[in-house]
């Protein structure tokens, strides 16, 4: 009987913890959004962070985009050729990149490349008591450290996703047109006929903004909450990758259902 | 790192990202290219639109002169009502006829316009009266089979009953 009561108590406690964690996370999200908005008053800090999370991610994004485009070109060609529709290679490559692969793969790479370093940086600042020192000097570490990073993540994700999609389309063109010999005019004209600016390109941008918000929020909050020990920082870094990747994939399903589901 | 160097690198990054977005808008989605400068809306009724879709091109002599705006259904005449926007630069006679055609064997369907000889021109809101519906594969096959059956019926009759 005692065991039963204990189980019920534990259940109640875990539910209460879950609810209060959700509330705390929403509070932090609001604070981060407000802080990011206010951080534009000090653009210097944002530019530094843009260099840190944006510029340093360009290489991995461009190379991955190119290879994803190559593979899409090859696979698409082999499948479309069965139906004699290899002219549609352009639409296939462009739509899959702009709608799905661009935002999603960029967000996953971004979580691995920039999200982890943000978490580790903030976790180590906490472990080294730099954040506490800032508070001692009456500097709000949330506004000084977290907010500019969040703003930089929000700004750089759509740019990186656009870069990924554009390079991917060029990669698909390189494989499709000069290498395999699909007609150049048909490749572009079918693409332009099949890709809509608002429905496809802008929806892709919206997706990448949402993913940027997710990855940035997860990375910063996990770093902020990290245990100030070497093990705690290591765990927090892993958690950032796992949680933000799963969140991005889950959100992608939701967004796709909302944006393209009824058509 | 040097302040100026950071600024320059970040500027390059932002420019590359914006350039990629412009490339996606102009080259991939053809924003601007599809937009018809000044368009008039014309309607056409079809018995069957087949696989015609909104945004499909409207072509005359193979040149795109407009786009299909929307496809509706009229429950009085049980016909499909296709609204198309035509570029105002091109004038078509009132007795222009519209056909639903297919580009290639499996390609996209589009609307073909064949100009007539009337001296009055199509205006905004007018209706194209002469239309030819899309070719439906099943109808084509059954037509073919019926005509085959009709061809072979007299010859089997002449040879003296069924085999």
pLDDT digits (tens, 9 = 90+) for B25-45: 888 887 655 455 678 888 888
- Report yes or no: A125 and A145 within 8 Å, Cβ to Cβ: yes
Note the pLDDT of residue B154: 63
Note the pLDDT of residue B155: 55
Note the pLDDT of residue B54: 76
Q: Tell me the average pLDDT of chain B.
A: 81
Which of A51, A192, A193 shows the shortest C-beta gap to B10? A51
Element spanning B149, H or E? helix B137-158
Distance from CA of A82 to the nearest CA of B (A): 12
For the ranges A136-145, A239-248, B34-43, B90-99, which has the lowest average pLDDT? B34-43
- Contact between chains at A159 and B23 (C-beta distance less than 8 A): no
Place of tokens 């035509």: B86
Q: Does A263 touch chain B (CB under 8 A)?
A: no
pTM exceeding 0.80: no
Q: Does B26 touch chain A (CB under 8 A)?
A: no
Assess whether pLDDT exceeds 50 at residue A6.
Answer: yes
- Report yes or no: A176 and A92 within 8 Å, Cβ to Cβ: no
Element spanning B69, H or E? strand B63-74
| ipTM at complex level | 0.83
Chain A residues closer than 8 Å to B106 by CB:
83-85
Distance of CA A176 to the CA centre of its chain: 29
User: How many beta-carbon pairs under 8 angstroms link A with B?
Assistant: 91
Q: Does B24 touch chain A (CB under 8 A)?
A: yes
- Contact between chains at A169 and B21 (C-beta distance less than 8 A): no
């Amino acid at each position: 009987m005692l065991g039963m009561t204990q189980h019920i108590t534990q259940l109640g406690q875990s539910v209460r913890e879950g609810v209060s964690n959700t509330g705390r996370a929403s509070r932090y999200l609001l604070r981060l959004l407000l802080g990011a908005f206010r951080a534009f008053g000090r653009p210097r800090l944002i530019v530094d962070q843009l260099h840190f999370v944006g510029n340093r991610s360009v290489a991995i994004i461009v190379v991955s985009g190119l290879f994803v485009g190559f593979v899409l070109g090859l696979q698409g060609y082999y499948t479309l050729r069965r139906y004699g529709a290899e002219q549609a290679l352009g639409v296939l490559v462009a739509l899959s990149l702009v709608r799905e692969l661009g935002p999603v793969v960029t967000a996953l790479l971004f979580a691995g490349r920039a999200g982890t370093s943000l978490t580790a940086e903030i976790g180590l600042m906490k472990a080294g008591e730099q954040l506490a020192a800032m508070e001692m000097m009456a500097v709000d570490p949330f506004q000084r450290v977290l907010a500019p990073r969040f703003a930089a993540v929000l700004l750089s994700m759509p740019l990186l996703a656009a870069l990924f999609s554009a390079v991917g389309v060029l990669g698909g063109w390189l494989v499709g047109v000069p290498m395999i010999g699909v007609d150049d005019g048909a490749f572009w004209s079918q693409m332009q006929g099949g890709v809509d600016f608002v429905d496809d390109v802008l929806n892709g941008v919206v997706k990448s903004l949402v993913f940027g918000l997710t990855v940035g929020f997860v990375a910063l909050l996990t770093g902020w909450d990290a245990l100030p020990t070497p093990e705690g920082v290591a765990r927090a870094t892993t958690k950032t990758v796992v949680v933000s990747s799963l969140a991005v994939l889950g959100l992608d399903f939701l967004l796709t259902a909302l944006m393209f589901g009824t058509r | 790192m040097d302040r100026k160097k950071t600024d320059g690198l970040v500027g390059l990054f932002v420019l590359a990202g914006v350039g990629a977005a412009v490339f996606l808008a102009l080259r991939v989605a053809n924003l601007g290219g599809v937009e018809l400068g000044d368009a008039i809306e014309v309607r056409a009724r079809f018995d069957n639109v087949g696989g015609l879709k909104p945004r499909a091109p409207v072509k005359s002599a193979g040149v795109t002169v407009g786009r299909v705006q929307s496809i509706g259904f009229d429950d009085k005449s049980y016909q499909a009502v296709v609204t198309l926007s035509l570029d105002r630069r091109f004038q078509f006679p009132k007795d222009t006829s519209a056909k639903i055609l297919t580009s290639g064997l499996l390609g996209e369907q589009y609307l073909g316009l064949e100009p007539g000889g009337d001296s009055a021109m199509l205006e905004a809101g007018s209706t194209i009266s002469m239309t030819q519906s899309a070719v439906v594969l099943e109808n084509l096959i059954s037509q073919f089979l019926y005509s085959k059956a009709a061809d072979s019926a007299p010859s089997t009759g002449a040879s003296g009953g069924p085999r």
